[in-house]
Amino acid sequence: MRRDFLKCCTLAGLGLACPGARAATKEGEAYEGPYYVVFNASGGWDTSYLMDPKGIHEINRLYHEGDILTQGAHKFAPNAKHIAAGMSNEDFYKEFGSELLTLNGLDYSVNNHAPGARYMATGKLDSLAYPTFAALVAACKGPACPISYLTFGNYSNTGNLVAMSRVPYPQSLQRIANADFVDGNARAPYHEDVVLERINKALDEQHAGRAAEARLPRVERAQNMLYAAQINSKALQRVTPHIPKNIPKERLSQQAEITLASFKAGVCVSANLSIGQFDSHANNDTDQMKLIPEFLAGIAYFLRRAEDLKIRDKLVIIVQSEMGRTPTYNKGNGKDHWSVGSIMFIGSGIRGNRVLGATDDGQLHVPLNPQTLITDKDQGIRVRPEHIHHSLRQFAGIEDHPFSKKFPLGVKKGEALQGLWG
Amino acid sequence: MKRGSITEERRPFPVRLKPATMKRSTSRSPVLCLLILSLISSVQAGSFFSEEVWPKVGAQSCFKCHKAGGDAEESKFVLQDPARDQTPARHASLMHNQAAFTRMAKSLKDGESRLLLKATGKLDHEGEEVLQPGSAGHRILEKFVRQVDQPQPNTQGKDAPPFFAGVLMLDDARLLRRVTLSLAGRLPTEAELKRLGQPGAFDQMLDSLMKEDAFYDRLREGFNGIFLTLGADGGDSSILSYDNFSKTRNWFQSYDLSHIQDEKERQQAGYKLARQYREALLGEPMKLIEHIVRNDRPFTEIVTADYIMVTPYTARGYGNFEEIKASFKNPDDPFEYIPVKLKALVGRNKADNQDSETGFYPHAGILSTFQYLRRYPTTETNRNRLRARMYFQHFLGVDVLELAARVSDAAATTAKYKVPTMEAAECVVCHKTLDPIAGLFQDYWRFEGVYGKRKEGWFTDMFGAGCEGVGLPGEERWRALQWLGEHTAKDPRFAVTMVEHVYYILTGRKVLLQPKDLDDPSFAAKYRAHQEQRAVIESIATRFAQKGFNLKQVFKDWVATDFYRADGLTTAALNPERQAELDDIGIVRMLAPEQVERKVAAVFGRRWGRLNDQLAMLYGGIDSKEVTERATDPSGAMGSLQRILANDVACKETALDFSRPAEKRLLFQHIEPDVTPGTAEHDAQIRRTISHLHERLLGRVESAEVERSFQLFADIVKEAAARRHDTEENYYCRQGLEQPVSDPQYTVRAWRAVVTYLLRQYDFLYE
């Protein structure tokens, strides 16, 4: 009964009636997937150096058209000779190409960082209220998970649906996991068990009593979220056994280990991972040849560690950036903002070895037929973030959840991408 | 104590915040005056134009281009910005705009109103289709056109009950507690509580409170949450540029510490010196805010002050310590700030010397501080646009990227034009406003932004330096930021924005944005909520300006509003519309880590001391650099921290309090550990103590909750009596006692459980 109550109060606190909104997890239960991960190349990646190679018109300076490589259905830019560290495109496609779905010619619609990041994260350009996909799916599938939605940067709005968790270091989780023990020492409880039970019981009763009170909507929401946070936090104890003692120093490795430990412990649904500095207005090639390999190495690290933890087959991974880079170089050998780009996916239920959509020789978008997923200048549409998010919601099975309905994407009938996931 | 009532008489001080009444303008052209007069009867609060057409269509869809300085300023349909209209209730601009809409509505093309044809892109309209036929916005315009032909009385919204009907307000005592905790990190004093109800007392108490140092700590913390200058890149070595301060900025490296014999100690002292210097430097912009408010100076000085705040340490960095050291009370105090004018910067080459007609650095409040410039640096391609964007956001409340317009094909537009930001209509709409401000920062170009001109001269493929249609006069170039500050101080949006900033400091969230989705079923409710809040913001802003921009007045006015006092409801049954109207009402702020620590200190006499660094970040804090927004809802990780806090604070404070003489106790003044439940006298004594704990920790005493705490205490003691247990408190919870406290009857541990229970509650962890 307490579990049902908790489930209800979490949703009721968000202004939703309980009967129509079922939570996917209950207090104490481990969330067992799928786990959703968004990798952000923050600042704007140069897609011509990765999944949308262009060897013409001096769109890039490091290879020619004849140098472009293929792996299955994928065409990609060669970069093994130009990188000093990280993972080359060659190695990445060789290892993951068969699982990888790429969509080129995505119309970001704007070429500024803030709105671009917001649009890519939420599927809505003109609202500040919308949750990111990661937050939305966490709220729908794991409202009772203690760190349901993890974020390490980039646009992270929750739409007031779920609390976001920022965990800067793996060690910080270890410090707080055993909250009822002095310094987390299992042999030094603050209270005897019987006392702690009575404290928790009093809090339960108080919370139940408040449900009948007249409360302002904000008060109700806050009290419910606070209660759920404290109760659910007990599950954090499950995380620490999965945090390795030695973690590589790379930026994404730290984020990966915190995320994977949380997934493995069943306390987390989604995570927003990010590395920045892609905004290569000066010396584009130098920067992109450093950052793309670092980014790919981080993704590979994540997938391999997930394999070790035996949760690889439960991952849904989205790889994105908030904008692309111009097909021309500026005077500082950099590339400026460009509103057309790409997005990639890997994961359970996603058929890989596919490339959809395209850009033309000027790196301009080519319309895509939403029914056939073939480029089609006559019947095609401009595929925009809302189309991607519409498909993601469908894929996650949350498109009809009350939370999703609260934040409609406005994709017109006939514009939904059919069979995107294969 | 009962919850507060909603009666007007209970207000702590009589502030009336109503939208100002209409007043005729006399400074406009005769033609416009006639037009205004003809419209006075039709433009009234609640008119269809002011409530529907303008906010839902005009402001959202037309005004972006159809304004002075806008891309469509050459057209005949030029609108005025109500946000910059200083006439009461914005009537002059609304009347102007209604006249423009009316003219356009009456103008026909093949029997159809040009207003509708233009909006749907059917006539020559550079903005193309801005409203789809059949959309909510289009329907509003259709209705407007019909009304222009056949005026009808507007009855919409006349029967709505008062916005705060059925909302319970805090009583004076709880309001005082909210204010003292929020603004000064302390509980109300007995003397203050006794004065409640006396005429003018609350107002005077607020005045006193805003003289306390703790208020200024809070003020700086709050404004740093907005300006984020503590996150300025670097410290000594980059805030003060090499070219201008190469000989002085690293003064601490050669500071004579030879009087310290021990080498390690000397080394530590050197580190401390450098750390305090850096801290003092980073603190200067927020200390400027403190100085302005503490001395009741006009808050416009945050953009006009012709001085900065320096300390003995930072003055050494600037190289002017010897000149000004006599002005310090203690020249060795790293954190004694005084106002000082810097001399114009001297470069390594004569050509790099700063232009100045006065010989002084052209200070313009925060705008020209090195910390602000370093916090928002520029690049060759960004061209100061980040600074321009932050200027609009920080000082005029406009986030130019917040709701960026979708461009039909941004990439194609970029490719089509040589200079899209000056040629493509969809780019010009923002850049015509943004780029002139960027141009005003043009002399702060080097070193990622600290003073230094661009060698090649300022960019010619940008709109020239200026401010919203007014170009920067050539002779003002050397003091361009001062010129900008003066414009800013006169802009009505400045006062409004500062009122919004104070709201953010008080509530932890931004003011409501106007809802955009006209098809949202809750649109009307959300719109009303926005309008109600907006009316109060504008009223406070008007008073702020009238009171000489004294920011304390803004705090006082916000505290007096129903928005700050709202605390509950009289009835649980809210229909969805009312639910949406009240969705944002109530402070209901999860305390930030710093606030939690202050509250612990206020209640228990000392901080917990653990919500720092990593744990503060985990608890939703900011670092002013990469993490710049505080968490507003608790995650499970934060829930865990709350449990640790409750366990640990109760552990450290309960037995300790009992170990003090009764008269010095904060929690258990009227009870001893040997008082156990079971007799009427003891039970009453325990209940009194619980009431005191509820009051002290939660600020709320409700009989049912006191009973629940009593039962918790009694059950624990009873259960312990039935089994063997230690006769002393937990080892960890009896450290540092003033004298030993034995616990043979388990009462100390039971009290600790009660304190733990209270510390985990909403009323402690939220404001």
Determine whether the interchain pair B381/A199 forms a contact, defined as Cβ–Cβ distance below 8 Å.
no
Using CB atoms, which residue from B517, B579, B761 is nearest to A15? B579
Residues 284-343 of A with CB under 8 A from B: 326-327, 330-332, 334, 336, 338-340
What is the reported pLDDT for B644? 97
What are the phi and psi torsion angles at B309 (to 5°)? Answer: -100, 130
Q: Is B261 on the interface with A (CB under 8 A)?
A: no
| Contact: B579, A233; criterion CB under 8 Å | no
Q: Is residue B26 part of a domain?
A: no
Out of B635, B643, B651, name the one closest to residue A179 (CB). B643
Q: pLDDT by residue (tens digit) across B299-321?
A: 999 999 999 999 999 999 999 99
Distance between CA B353 and CA B456 in Å, rounded? 17
Provide the shortest C-alpha distance from residue B477 to chain A (in Å).
27
Q: How far is CA A395 from the centre of its chain?
A: 14
CA angle B60, B65, B68 (to 5 degrees): 115
Give how many domains chain B has, as a whole number: 5
Nearest C-alpha neighbor of B427 from the set B64, B59, B62: B64
Which pLDDT score, from 0 to 100, does residue B6 have? Answer: 34
> What confidence category does residue B410 fall into, taking pLDDT thresholds of 50, 70 and 90?
confident
pLDDT at B126 over 80: no
Rounding to the nearest 10 degrees, give the CA dihedral for residues B390, B393, B399, B401: 0
Report d(CA B15, CA B12) in Å as an integer: 9
Please list every residue in chain B whose beta carbon sits closer than 8 Å to the beta carbon of residue A169: 614
Is residue B271 helix, strand or coil? helix
Which residues of chain A have a CB within 8 Å of the CB of B634?
A: 163, 225-226, 229-230
Residue B21 has a pLDDT of 33
The helix (run of H) or strand (run of E) holding residue A232 is helix A217-232
User: Which of A:120-139 have CB within 8 Å of B?
Assistant: 125-128
Q: Residue A395: pLDDT band by 50, 70, 90 thresholds?
A: very high
Total number of residues shown for chain A: 422
Cα separation, B650 vs B644, in Å, equals 10
Question: Are the beta carbons of A314 and A35 closer than 8 angstroms?
Answer: yes
Distance of alpha carbon A150 from alpha carbon A163, whole angstroms: 9
Residue A91: the pLDDT is: 98
Q: What dihedral do alpha carbons A90, A94, A99, A100 form, nearest 10°?
A: 10
Mean pLDDT of B515-529: 87
B222-268 per-position pLDDT tens digit: 999 999 999 987 655 678 988 899 899 999 999 999 999 999 999 99
Q: Tell whether the model's pLDDT for residue B656 goes beyond 70.
A: yes
- CA within 13 Å, CB half, B593: 20
Task: Give the pair of three-digit tokens for residue B109.
Answer: 């093309």
Structure tokens that stand for B330 in this block: 């203690």
The reply to whether A219 touches chain B by the CB within 8 Å rule is yes
DSSP state of B568: E
- Model confidence at A297, in pLDDT bands (50, 70, 90)? very high
Q: Cβ neighbours of residue B678 under 8 Å, at least 6 residues apart?
A: none
Nearest to B636 among A215, A235, A339 (CB): A235
- Strand bridging mode A270-275 / A149-151: parallel
Considering only A242-246, B156-160, B540-544, B567-571, which range has the smallest mean pLDDT?
B156-160
Helix, strand or coil for residue A73? coil
Q: Hey, which residues 114-173 in chain B have their CB within 8 Å of chain A?
A: 167
Global pTM reads 0.84
Q: Are residues B244 and B371 in the same domain?
A: yes
Residue-range definition of the domain harbouring residue B664? 632-765
Least confident of A202-216, B179-193, B624-638, B662-676: B624-638
Query: Looking at residues B762-766, what average pLDDT do you find?
Result: 97
Q: Is B414 helix (H, G, I), strand (E, B) or coil?
A: helix
Chain A to chain B Cβ contacts (< 8 Å): 258
Domain termination site, one of B149, B178, B201: B149
Do residues B338 and B259 share a domain?
Answer: yes
User: Does pLDDT of A118 surpass 50?
Assistant: yes
Residue B751 Cα, gap to closest chain A Cα (Å): 11
Alpha carbons B469 and A205: distance in angstroms, whole number: 62
φ, ψ of residue B368 in degrees (nearest 5): -105, 5
Sign of CA dihedral A108, A109, A114, A115: negative
pLDDT at residue number B414? 80
The model's pLDDT over A302-325, given as tens digits with 9 standing for 90+, comes to: 999 999 999 999 999 999 999 999
Q: Where are the domains of chain A?
A: 32-170+249-406
Q: Are residues B347 and B236 in the same domain?
A: yes
Query: Can you tell me the mean pLDDT for A257-272?
Result: 95
Match 């616990």 to its residue by tokens: B743
Three-class DSSP category at A7: helix
Beta-strand runs (E) in B299-436: 308-310, 338-340
Domain boundary among B454, B477, B500: B477
Q: Which two tokens stand for residue B384?
A: 């100061």
Chain A neighbors of B401, CB-CB under 8 A: 112-115
Residue A74: φ, ψ to 5°: -85, 140
Within a domain: B30: no
**Same-domain pairing of B564 and B656:** no
b/e per residue, A321-332, with b = 16+ CB within 10 A? bbbbbbbebeee
Does position B389 have pLDDT exceeding 70, yes or no? yes
Q: To which H or E segment does residue B390 belong?
A: helix B385-395
Q: Is the pLDDT of residue A124 over 80?
A: yes
Q: Which of A180, A188, A282 sits opposite B732 (nearest CB)?
A: A188
Average pLDDT on A123-152 reads: 92
Q: Is A20 on the interface with B (CB under 8 A)?
A: no
DSSP labels for B43-56? --TT-HIIIIIIII
Encode pLDDT of B258-279 as tens digits: 999 999 999 999 999 999 999 9
Measured over the CA atoms of residue B388, residue B393, residue B396 and residue B401, the dihedral's sign is positive
Q: What is the pLDDT averaged over residues B6-33?
A: 38
pLDDT digits (tens, 9 = 90+) for B59-114: 877 887 787 766 667 677 888 887 777 666 667 788 788 878 888 887 888 778 88
Could you tell me the two tokens for A399? 């498109």
3-state secondary structure of B496: helix
Give the per-residue pLDDT at B708: 98
**By the 8 A CB rule, do B540 and B554 touch?**
yes
Helices then strands, counting H and E runs in chain A, come out as 11, 14
The alpha carbon of B265 is separated from its chain's Cα centroid by a whole number of angstroms, namely: 42
Q: Is A186 on the interface with B (CB under 8 A)?
A: no
8-state DSSP, B396: S
For residue B402, the model assigns a pLDDT of 67
* Number of residues written out for chain B: 767
Looking at residue B83, its pLDDT comes to: 75
Residue B473 lies inside a defined structural domain of this protein: yes
Task: Tell me if A166 and B639 make a contact (CB, 8 A cut-off).
Answer: no
Q: Is the same domain home to B232 and B331?
A: yes
Q: What value does the mean pLDDT of chain A take?
A: 90
CATH of domain A32-170+249-406: 3.40.720.10
Region A329-349 average pLDDT: 94
Residues on chain B touching A205 (C-beta within 8 angstroms): 708
What is the pLDDT at residue B69? 66
Contact flag A163-B638 (C-beta cutoff 8 Å): yes
With an 8 Å Cβ cutoff, are A112 and B404 in contact? yes
In a shared domain, residues B390 and B359: no
Mean pLDDT of B11-39: 37
Q: pLDDT per residue over B414-472, tens digit each?
A: 888 888 889 888 788 889 999 999 999 999 987 666 889 998 899 999 999 999 889 99
Between residues 719 and 758 of chain B, which touch chain A (CB distance below 8 Å)?
Answer: 719, 725, 730, 732-733, 749-750, 752-753, 756-757
Of the candidates B132, B70, B414, the residue with the CA atom closest to the CA atom of residue A109: B414
Look at residue B747 and tell me whether its pLDDT is greater than 90.
yes
DSSP string across A189-250:
BSS-HHHHHHHHHHHHHHHHHHTTS---HHHHHHHHHHHHHHHHGGGGGGTGGGS-S---SS
SS3 B471: strand
Question: Residue B513's closest chain A neighbor by CA?
Answer: A128
Alpha-carbon distance of B63 to B71, in angstroms, equals 10
Mean pLDDT, rounded, for A254-273: 95
Question: How many other C-beta atoms can be found within 10 angstroms of the C-beta atom of residue A203?
Answer: 18
Whether the CB-CB separation of B718 and B751 falls below 8 Å is answered with no
d(CA B162, CA B140): 26
Is residue A1 very low, low, confident or very high in pLDDT (cuts 50, 70, 90)? very low
Question: Which one of B569, B633, B694 would you mutate to disrupt binding with A, by most A Cβ within 10 Å of its Cβ?
Answer: B633
In chain B, whose CA is at the least distance from the CA of A126? B403
For residue B24, pLDDT beyond 80:
no
Q: Which of B570, B638, B651 sits opposite A190 (nearest CB)?
A: B651
Please report whether residue B20 resides in a domain. Answer: no
User: Is the peptide bond prior to A34 cis by the omega test (within 30 degrees of 0)?
Assistant: yes
A172 contact B CB<8A:
yes
A-chain residues near B712 (CB < 8 A): 198-199, 202
| Min distance B320 CA to chain A CA atoms (Å) | 37
Q: Is the dihedral angle over the CA atoms A339, A345, A349, A354 positive or is it negative?
A: positive
Q: Which amino acid is at B539?
A: S
Residue B607 belongs to some domain of the structure: no
Which two tokens mark B359? 């010989």
* Within-domain flag for B602: no
Q: What integer best gives the mean pLDDT of chain B?
A: 87
- Contact of A24 with A266, CB cutoff 8 Å: no
**% residues pLDDT > 70 (chain B):** 89
Question: Which stretch of DSSP H or E encloses residue A75?
Answer: strand A74-76
Q: How many degrees, rounded to 5, is the angle at CA B289 between CA B287 and CA B295?
A: 100
Mark which residues 98-117 of A lie under 8 Å from B by CB. 107-115
What does the pLDDT read at residue B234? 67
Residues B332 and B362 in one domain: yes
Cβ(B232)–Cβ(B204) below 8 Å: no
Q: State which residue of chain A sits closest to B622, comparing Cα positions.
A: A166
Using an 8 Å Cβ cutoff, are B374 and B312 in contact?
no
Q: Are residues B234 and B359 in the same domain?
A: yes
Average pLDDT over residues B483-507: 97
Which ranges constitute the DSSP H helices of A61-123? 89-96, 113-122
CA distance linking residue A392 with residue A398, whole number of Å? 9
- Please give the average per-residue pLDDT across B726-752, as a whole number: 96
Is-cis flag, bond preceding B515, omega within 30?
Answer: no
Q: Is residue B269 part of a domain?
A: yes
H/E stretch holding A321: strand A315-321
Contacts of B711 in chain A (CB under 8 A): 202
How far, in Å, CA of A141 to CA of A281, rounded?
40
**Do B571 and A214 form a contact (C-beta atoms < 8 A)?**
yes
* Residue B616 lies inside a defined structural domain of this protein: no
Asked if residue B140 lies in contact with residue B154, where contact means CB atoms within 8 angstroms, the answer is no
B contact residues 515-554, partner A, Cβ 8 Å cutoff = 516-517
Instruction: Quick: pLDDT tens for B683-718.
Output: 999 999 999 999 999 999 999 999 999 999 999 999
With beta carbons less than 8 A apart as the criterion, state whether B65 and B127 touch.
yes
Percent of chain B past pLDDT 90, that is, above it, reads 64
What pLDDT score was predicted for residue B42? 42
* Helices then strands, each counted (H, E), chain B: 33, 8
**Co-location of B249 and B336 in the same domain:** yes
Return the axis-axis angle of helices B425-440 and B385-395, rounded to nearest 10°.
Answer: 80
Structure tokens at A403: 């939370």
Cβ distance A382 to B567 less than 8 Å, yes or no, reads no
Question: According to the model, what pLDDT value does residue B30 have?
Answer: 36
Which residues of chain B are within 8 Å of residue A203 when distances are taken between CB atoms?
A: 757, 760-761
Q: Do the Cβ atoms of A163 and B415 come within 8 Å?
A: no
Closest CA relative to residue B394, chosen from B423, B417, B365, B418: B365
The answer for B559, left when phi > 0, alpha when psi is -120 to 50, beta otherwise, is alpha
Q: What percent of chain A has pLDDT over 70?
A: 93
